[in-house]
């Protein structure tokens, strides 16, 4: 079984021997410009779309929405998401045909997908799934837009399946995306490539969890094709995203099999992904690469994790919360290994000061019980950090654990699940003092 699983890894190694360079899609130029210039282009596009003299206002608004969406994807700036939503709404307002109305609806679905990827939120995801189903049912069969809407609906359903934690659901979602890829007409279409990447991610996740060779082979073939198709001189971010998934998959398999050679190859792939662009070119892509690397112990220096945290902090981003959590974990472990109780206590004080600076703790909406505080996930990470430090100090000094942390950790787990970050919820539950005593 292990030898067959590692055919996946052998295939990835052939990536560096390929000379395939398919052509780029129409919007590939956006990958080459800095976020500041991208924002300027988006702003100018929307300004032109709003002019009375605009020759094709619908096309201009749709293009402006796409540019703002790409800016948000790379920076995590919520204002860019709001501008994208406003441009999509303006496109719907000036739409004159059924096809244009459908395209405006599709753009809104793509923004919904990105908003969930950036910030999570089960309620928002469920609302988006419903909106996608309604739009899909209203369209006529056989159009390219209908195929794109169907793909967006399936992508949202795949996120819901992952949120529900069902491996069978992930496998069904990956299979459903097969039809979406087949229905998207252009082999070089940017949307088709994004769907392929997500299909590979689902197949890889389910394949690693279930030791399913067929799914691993499918993911490997898909990723090899995506990397080969992404010219590093024209589509560096697309190439980096596919390489990162290759590296993460190989690292997971290497960990399962204890294969040190595969671990080294995964690091090469991570390095190749990081070399495609600089941190300021796409801060969130760079942060995602560092966090994927950091899944392996001691793979990422603390200074790099601090930079990743800084690039993604303060915006309510899922990625920012994960970056802070990983940095706190690594820093606490380093202090404990060095027997530095003072450093551990300084970290505790730092977190407590941050918590005190908040206007209020994470709170629930009275109507439906959801958490509504935009900083709730950062609050949850700080509670997890306090629990880690409390456990480390107990091991260092023998002081009893703070049992009051149990309630805060319970709330932190609830926040994480509400925001659809199950890894943080599982961490919070594992750190609960009551569970530690029973263990």
Q: Is the pTM of this model over 0.85?
A: yes
- Look up residue 28 and give its DSSP letter: G
367 in a structural domain: yes
Residue 358 lies in a domain: yes
What domain range includes position 323? 301-439
- Residue 251 within any structural domain of the chain: no
Does residue 167 fall inside a structural domain? Answer: no
Domain count for the chain:
1
Does residue 400 lie in a domain region?
A: yes
DSSP letter string, 271-339: HHHHTTS-TTTSHHHHHHHHHHHTTSTTSS-HHHHHHHHHHHTTS--HHHHHHHHHHHHHHHHHHHHTT
Q: Of 236, 197, 287, 264, whose CA–CA distance to 32 is shortest?
A: 236
Whether residue 7 lies inside any domain: the answer is no
* Position 309 in a domain: yes
Q: What angle do CA 135, 141, 142 make, to 5 degrees?
A: 125
Tens-level pLDDT at each residue, the chain (439 residues): 445 444 544 554 444 433 333 333 356 789 999 999 999 999 999 999 999 999 999 999 999 999 999 999 999 999 999 999 999 999 999 999 999 999 999 999 999 999 999 999 999 999 999 999 999 888 876 678 888 999 999 999 999 988 887 778 877 887 888 878 877 765 457 788 899 999 999 888 888 888 888 888 888 889 999 999 999 999 999 999 999 999 999 888 888 888 888 889 999 999 999 999 999 999 999 999 999 999 888 889 999 999 999 999 988 999 999 999 999 999 999 999 999 999 999 999 999 999 888 755 555 554 445 544 568 899 999 999 999 999 999 988 877 777 778 899 999 999 999 999 999 999 999 998 754 443 3
Residue 409 lies in a domain: yes
């Amino acid at each position: 079984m292990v030898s067959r699983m590692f055919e996946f890894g052998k295939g990835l190694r052939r990536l560096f021997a390929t000379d395939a360079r398919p052509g780029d899609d129409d919007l590939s130029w956006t990958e080459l410009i800095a976020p500041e210039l991208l924002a300027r282009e988006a702003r100018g596009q929307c300004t032109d779309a709003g002019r009375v003299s605009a020759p094709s206002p619908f096309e201009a608004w749709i293009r402006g929405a796409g540019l703002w969406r790409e800016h948000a994807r790379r920076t995590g700036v919520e204002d860019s998401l709001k501008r994208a939503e406003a441009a999509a709404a303006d496109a719907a307002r000036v739409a004159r045909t059924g096809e244009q109305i459908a395209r405006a609806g599709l753009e809104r679905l793509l923004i919904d997908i990105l908003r969930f990827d950036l910030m999570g939120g089960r309620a928002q995801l469920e609302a988006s799934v419903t909106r996608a189903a309604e739009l899909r049912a209203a369209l006529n069969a056989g159009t390219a837009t209908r195929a794109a809407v169907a793909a967006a609906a399936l992508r949202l359903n795949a996120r819901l399946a992952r949120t529900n934690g069902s491996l069978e659901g992930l496998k069904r979602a990956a299979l459903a995306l097969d039809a979406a890829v087949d229905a998207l007409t252009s082999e070089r279409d940017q949307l088709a490539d994004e769907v392929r990447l997500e299909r590979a991610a689902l197949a890889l996740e389910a394949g690693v969890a279930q030791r399913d060779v067929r799914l691993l082979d499918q993911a490997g073939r898909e990723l090899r094709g995506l990397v080969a198709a992404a010219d590093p001189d024209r589509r560096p971010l697309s190439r980096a995203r596919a390489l990162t998934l290759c590296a993460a998959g190989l690292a997971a398999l290497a960990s399962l099999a204890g294969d040190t050679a595969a671990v080294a190859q995964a690091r090469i792939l991570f390095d190749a992904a990081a070399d495609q662009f600089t941190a300021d070119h796409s801060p969130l892509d760079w942060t995602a690469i560092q966090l994927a690397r950091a899944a392996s112990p001691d793979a990422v220096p603390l200074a790099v994790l601090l930079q990743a945290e800084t690039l993604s902090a303060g915006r309510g981003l899922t990625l920012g919360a994960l970056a802070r959590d990983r940095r706190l974990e690594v820093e606490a472990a380093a202090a404990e290994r060095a027997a530095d109780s003072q450093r551990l206590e300084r970290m505790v004080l730092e977190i407590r000061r941050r918590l005190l600076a908040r206007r209020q703790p994470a709170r629930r909406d009275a109507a439906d019980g959801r958490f509504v505080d935009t900083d709730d996930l950062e609050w949850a990470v700080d509670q997890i950090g306090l629990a880690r430090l409390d456990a480390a100090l107990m091991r260092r000094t023998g002081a009893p654990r703070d049992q009051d942390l149990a309630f805060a950790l319970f709330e932190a787990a609830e926040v994480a699940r509400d925001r659809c970050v199950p890894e943080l919820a599982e961490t919070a539950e594992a750190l609960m003092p009551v569970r530690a005593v029973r263990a």
